[in-house]
Amino acid sequence: MVAGKNVLLGVSGGIAVYKAVALTSKLTQQGANVRVMMTPSSTEFVSPLTFQAISRNAVYVDTFDEKDPSKIAHIDVADWADIAIIAPATANIIGKIANGIADDMLSTTLLATSADVYVAPAMNVHMYAHPAVISNMKQLEEWGYHFIEPGDGYLACGYVGKGRLEEPEEIISVIKNHQSIDLTLKDKRVLISAGPTREQIDPVRFFTNRSSGKMGFALAEAAAKRGADVTLVAGPTEIEASQNTIKRVDVTTAEEMYDAMHEHFPESDIVIKAAAVADYRPKLIAHEKMKKQEDDLHIEMERTKDILQSLGGIKTDQYLVGFAAETSTPLEYGLQKLKKKNLDGIVINNVSTEGAGFGGDTNIVTYVNKHQRKEEIALASKQEIAEEILTFIDQDMKDEAQ
């Protein structure tokens, strides 16, 4: 999946630059057309001539070194690239991109490209764990950048730990696997719900839950990347979808989410209800702020409409998937939900397990289809889990069609 591709290799200044030389060689051997772009500090470790000799292409370092007057070099390269790889990616270059800084040729080009960007970090173990670096990486991940995690091992600074640039063979393997994802959902209409709901008590108070919406948004973005026509019904959340092709419908209450899901359900092929919807709401809403009293406060609650069960009762050809976020015997409750609500599949997780709770960037889930086939997905990012879930759904639909 790299043969014949135009690959921009961005090299930033760290001792791991020598591995970028090997990466250039292996990409070239596999048929990729590689252009290397170096930060000035990276040239202190390896000469541009080395990369030129291996890639058989001119190496870019200086934004203002315009070799061809008919083109603006950094824009030309940004448009040319099918894939961009930053290896090694230092804390500095990660910080620049995450904050929109363009003060050298590499950072400027990365802001201008629409290619898939793969980031392979390499830095001291404590730098890699610094809150600023973590925040910058999360920002880039939200924007659709792909990270190739550094390995554990002996670092040039003398520390042993996470921060070593991944080996060139593994970098290429990760990119190949990602690039091999074809448009399996092209022409499919996918409806996804995400986030929490809010049920008003009075003008200043409401009931809600801990859902961040990250899992639902990850599913929407993964489906869009696979070519689907995606509608995302989102409860109150600060997350923004990185794929601008996603049609977003913002709602607040369980009733509004019910209406939105039912409005778009008939035209959908795949429906995934990942939202954490309130089961109850206040029976009466105060129109003025409720004042503190001496006695205890009792709020009478009433059931909200069960969105998933109602969709299961009217579905025709839709592939309907629910989520079961539990804290005890999750598999048992999940299987009951699968059958009771007439689902085609269910994603089950124990939110009390470390790494699988609300608001985090990772999850641990079990996917079960209506034929009771179970697929375990170990601790992984929500983006990776979203890809796995869509793969299971796609395979199920193909099996049903046979």
For residue 67, is it within any domain?
yes
pLDDT value, residue 242: 67
Cα(402)–Cα(386) distance, rounded to whole angstroms? 25
Is residue 184 situated within a structural domain?
Answer: no
| CATH code, domain with 349 | 3.40.50.10300
pLDDT of residue 149: 83
Give CA–CA dist 217/207, Å, rounded.
Answer: 22
- Say what the pLDDT of residue 245 is: 81
**Order of strands, sheet of 146-147, starting from the edge strand that comes earlier in the sequence:** 33-38, 6-11, 83-89, 116-121, 146-147
Structural domain including 224 reads 189-401
- The answer on pLDDT for 157 being more than 70 is no
- How far is residue 27 from each of residues 18, 84, 293, 300, measured CA to CA in Å? 15, 12, 71, 65
pLDDT band at 181 (very low <50, low <70, confident <90, very high): low
Where a domain ends, among 179, 202, 221? 179
- If asked whether residues 103 and 135 sit together in one domain, one would say yes
Query: Do 197 and 167 fall within a single domain?
Result: no
Per-residue pLDDT band for 182 (boundaries 50, 70, 90) equals: low
Domain count, the chain: 2
Residue 1: inside a domain: no
Same domain for 260 and 384: yes
171 and 194, same domain (yes or no): no
Domain CATH for 148: 3.40.50.1950
pLDDT of res. 368? 96
Q: pLDDT digits over 209-234, tens only?
A: 999 999 999 999 999 988 899 999 99
Q: What is the DSSP code (8-state) at residue 13? A: S
AA letter at 19: K
| 31 burial level (CB within 10 Å; 0-12, 13-18, 19+) | exposed
What pLDDT digit, counting tens, does each position of 40-95 carry?
Answer: 999 999 999 999 999 999 999 998 888 778 888 899 999 999 999 999 999 999 99
Is 157 designated active site? yes
The closest of 179, 155, 180, 142 to 88, measured between CA atoms, is: 155
Which one of the listed residues 157, 160, 301, 378 is annotated catalytic?
Answer: 157
Angle at 185 between CA 272 and CA 223, to 5 degrees: 50
Flag whether 30 is in a domain. Answer: yes
Confidence of residue 243 (pLDDT cuts 50, 70, 90): low
Q: Are residues 95 and 233 in the same domain?
A: no
Q: Which residue do the tokens 């764990």 mark?
A: 129
pLDDT reported for residue 41: 95
318-323: average pLDDT: 97
Query: Quick one: 60 and 109 in the same domain?
Result: yes
Residue 221, domain member (yes or no): yes
The confidence score (pLDDT) of residue 293 equals 87
DSSP string, 168-189: HHHHHHHHHHHHT---TTTT-E
Mean pLDDT of 382-400: 92
Supply the pLDDT for residue 303: 97
The per-residue pLDDT for 288 is 94
Do 25 and 156 fall into the same domain?
yes
- Are 136 and 221 part of one and the same domain? no
pLDDT value for 4: 87
Tokens 């948004």, residue located: 217
Q: What is the pLDDT of residue 359?
A: 81
Residues 38 and 136 in one domain: yes
Per-residue pLDDT, averaged over 130-157, amounts to 80
pLDDT tens across 352-362, in order?
Answer: 888 887 888 89
Residue 369 falls inside a structural domain: yes
Looking at the predicted structure, is the pLDDT value of residue 109 above 70?
A: yes
Q: Tell me the C-alpha to C-alpha distance, in Å, between residue 207 and each of 213, 235, 236, 279.
A: 16, 13, 12, 11
Nearest by Cα to 239 from 133, 162, 143: 143
3-state class percentages of the chain: helix first, strand second, coil last, to nearest 5: 35, 25, 40
Residue 243 CA: distances (Å) to CA of 219, 227, 231, 285, 398: 11, 11, 12, 37, 26
Same domain, 158 and 227: no
Point out the domain boundary residue: 156, 179, 202.
Answer: 179
Work out the mean pLDDT of the chain and round it to a whole number: 91
Instruction: Select from 179, 200, 215 the last residue of a domain.
Output: 179
pLDDT of res. 155: 43
**130/233 same-domain check:** no
Same domain for 263 and 131: no
pLDDT value at residue 159? 46
pLDDT of residue 263: 98
